[in-house]
Amino acid sequence: MLSHFERCAALGGLLLVPVFIRLLMVCAEVTLMTSMYLIAPMAVVVLRPTLRRLLSFRDPDLVIDSAHCATASSAARC
């Protein structure tokens, strides 16, 4: 038979389980947010030149000038 103190301790331990789970979730969330706010800007700084090169790449054969398309002789190509 459990004493009054042992029953209260067991009940208190059961009540603390959700608190510990919530605390672990908050710690995981803080870690994730910290990594997002620290790692993502560093990745942007590192990848920015590569992204700029990729986005600025233009194939001269694919670029069609609108003034060029306005002429009748080259309208068929456009």
The single residue listed with the structure tokens 């038979």 is: 1
Per-domain residue ranges of the chain: 1-42
40-71: pLDDT as tens digits: 777 778 888 777 777 766 655 555 555 555 55
The single residue listed with the structure tokens 């030149």 is: 49
| Residue ranges with strand state E in the chain | none
Q: What is the pLDDT of residue 61?
A: 56
| Alpha carbon 6 to chain centroid, angstroms | 47
Asked whether residue 22 carries a pLDDT value surpassing 80, the answer given is yes
Q: What are phi and psi of 41, to 5 degrees?
A: -65, -35
pTM for the predicted model, two decimal places = 0.39
The region, left, alpha or beta by phi > 0 then psi within -120 to 50, assigned to residue 49 is alpha
